[in-house]
Amino acid sequence: MLMIQESAKRMGTLIDDLLAFSRIGRAETRETMVSLEQLVNEVQNEMWQETEACNMTWKLGPLPDLYGDRSMLKIALSNLISNAVKFTRTCTQPLIEIGCVEERSDCVVVFVKDNGVGFNMKYVNKLFGVFQRLHKVDEFEGTGIGLATVQRIAHRHGGQVWAEGQVGAGATFYLSLPKPLER
């Protein structure tokens, strides 16, 4: 009975994630000036219980404001940060760094870096595909849709997402977003 309940719960989560992924592709973007710093703080507060128990260390650098769809950008940051939390869970001293790599003339590049399990760069192209997982479900939960969602949101904003990692040495995910035009 328990196995059936767990399978049903996983299926429900998968369906919810697929619906959210689909909606992001069709939804109209409602662009406003967004504080990335405020969004990161909101996501961090939502994950407080999960990160409090594992003694997570956070290093937050300054983040700019930019023009975009607030709810979509929050989903993207939430997916990146929750992955960092998930994949540092086995670390004795988990560390997540979030900041702005560089401000180019045309875009802002935000990063989410962790010291978790990392990944083999040989498989980097699989990371952003729907249902693509580099770790077994019994090792780390998830549906394999989160990073595909981040990529879709980045593209909807005219940006990009990419990653660097090393097995056993963590991962860094980058999100480039266009700078606000002078209005």
pLDDT at residue 140, rounded to an integer:
46
Helices 146-156 & 2-26 angle (0-180, nearest 10): 10
pLDDT at residue 119, rounded to an integer:
83
pLDDT at residue 10, rounded to an integer:
63
pTM value surpassing 0.75 = yes
Q: Rounded to the nearest 5°, which phi and psi values hold at 128?
A: -100, 10
Copy the structure tokens of residue 5: 């309940």
Copy the structure tokens of residue 103: 């401000």
pLDDT at residue 142, rounded to an integer:
52
| Fold (CATH) for 2-178 | Heat Shock Protein 90 (3.30.565)
Task: Name the residue ranges covered by the structural domains of the chain.
Answer: 2-178
Could you tell me which of 98, 96, 67, 73 has the C-alpha nearest to residue 149? 73
What's the one-letter identity of residue 169?
A
The pLDDT profile of the chain, 183 residues, written as one tens digit per residue, is 776 776 566 656 556 555 555 566 566 667 788 899 999 999 988 887 777 767 888 999 999 888 888 888 998 999 999 889 888 888 889 999 999 986 667 888 999 999 998 888 887 887 877 655 555 555 545 556 788 889 988 988 899 999 999 988 899 999 998 876 644
Helices 70-88 & 146-156 angle (0-180, nearest 10): 150
pLDDT at residue 124, rounded to an integer:
83
